[in-house]
Amino acid sequence: MKTIIIRTASNYMLPLLLVFSVFILLRGHYLPGGGFVGGLIASIAFVLHAFANGLGDTRKLLHFHPGFLMPTGLALAFLSGISPLVFTGEPFMTGLWYPEHLPIVGNLGSALFFDIGVYLVVQGVTLTIIFTISEST
């Protein structure tokens, strides 16, 4: 599969797909999308890159093992969950909202950070599984 066309294309596809995945993630609260889909799209982007350029290149590109995304995402999701406990003394997982309306993102709130956590975990899980399996064959 390492044809020049795919390799060249994947080099442009990777950033495009990643931007697209972030876009899907951010608009999730208002339109179809969200952390799960966003994370999956992002991991497809990396898998595609790995198919075209080989696993080693993708790893180099990533700089770190995708497994680290899992604890990071979990921590982010958990912290966004306990933030109402810390800031306003409300129960676990109560939504907190920034009063101003922001472009693209819409309202900024703890739920968004939770979704980013999901995004990271899903990405970490998928990439860990696929990378591990393809390395061992």
Partner 1 sequence: MEILLAIIIGTLYASGIYMILRRSLVKLIIGIILLGNGANLLIFLLGRIAKGAPPIIPEESNVFLDAYSDPLPQALILTAIVISFGLQSFAIVLVKRAHKVVKTDDLDEMNATDEYS
Partner 2 sequence: MLTAILSGFIFSVFLVFAGKFLKGKLAVLSALVPLALFVYFLSFLPQVAGGEVIRQEISWVPTLGLDLNFALDGLSLLFSLLITGIGFLVFAYTAEYLKEHDYLDRFYGYLGMFMGAMLGLVLSDNLLSMFIFWELTSISSFFLIGFNNTSEASRKSAVLALAITGSGGFLLLAGALLLGNVAGTFNISEMLALSPEIISSEYYIWIVILLFGAAFTKSAQFPFHFWLPGAMKAPTPVSTYLHSATMVKAGIYLLLRFTPVLGGEDIWNTTLISVGGITMFYAAVHTLFRTDLKGVLAYSTISVLGLLVFLIGLGTQYALTAAAVYIVVHALYKATLFLITGIIDHETGTRDVTRLSGLRKVMMPVAVAGFLAALSSAGMPPFVGFIGKDLVYESTLHMGSWSIFLTVLAIATNILVLYAGFVAGIKPFTGKLPNEHKKVHLPGMLMWLPPVILALLGIIIGIFPEIINDSIIAPVVNSVGLEGNEVHLKLWHGFNLVLGLSAITLAVGILLYVIFKPSAKKERGIARLDFIAPLTLITNFGHGFKVFSNWWTRIFQNGFLRNYVSTIILFLVVLVGYSLFSDQNEIPIDLSSFSRMTYYEMIIMGIMFLAILFVVGARSRLTAVVAMGVVGYAICLMFVIYSAPDLAMTQFSIDTLTVILFVLVLSSLPKYLSISDYRMKVVDGVLSISFGILITLISLEVLGEPVNKEISNFYADNAYVLAKGKNVVNVILVDFRGVDTLMEISVLTIAALGVFSLLKLRLRRDDRELKD
- Length of the chain measured in residues: 137
**Total of chain residues touching partner 1, rule CB under 8 A:** 10
**Minimum CB–partner distance for residue 128 and partner 1 (Å):** 10
Chain residues in the site for partner 2 (CB under 8 A):
24, 28-37, 40-41, 43-44, 47, 67, 70-71, 73-74, 77-78, 81, 92-93, 95, 97, 106-107, 109, 111, 114-115, 117-118, 121-122, 124-126, 128-130, 132-137
Asked if residue 102 binds partner 1 (CB under 8 A), the reply is: no
Residue nearer to partner 1 on the CB measure, 37 or 62 = 37
Interaction mask 4-43, partner 1, x per CB under 8 A: --------------------------xxx---x---x---
Contacts 24+ apart (CB under 8 A), 67-71: 67/124, 67/128, 68/124, 69/120, 69/121, 69/123, 69/124, 69/127, 70/120, 70/121, 70/124, 70/125, 70/128
In this structure, the number of other CB atoms found within 10 A of the CB of residue 132 comes to 11
**Minimum CB–partner distance for residue 12 and partner 2 (Å):** 19
List the single partner that 91 binds among partner 1, partner 2, none, CB under 5 to 8 Å by kind.
none
CA dihedral (64, 132, 116, 32) positive or negative: positive
What stretch of H or E contains 130?
Answer: helix 110-136
Distance (Å, whole) CA 56 – CA 117: 26
Can you give the binding site for partner 1, defined by CB under 8 A?
A: 30-32, 36, 40, 122, 125-126, 129, 133
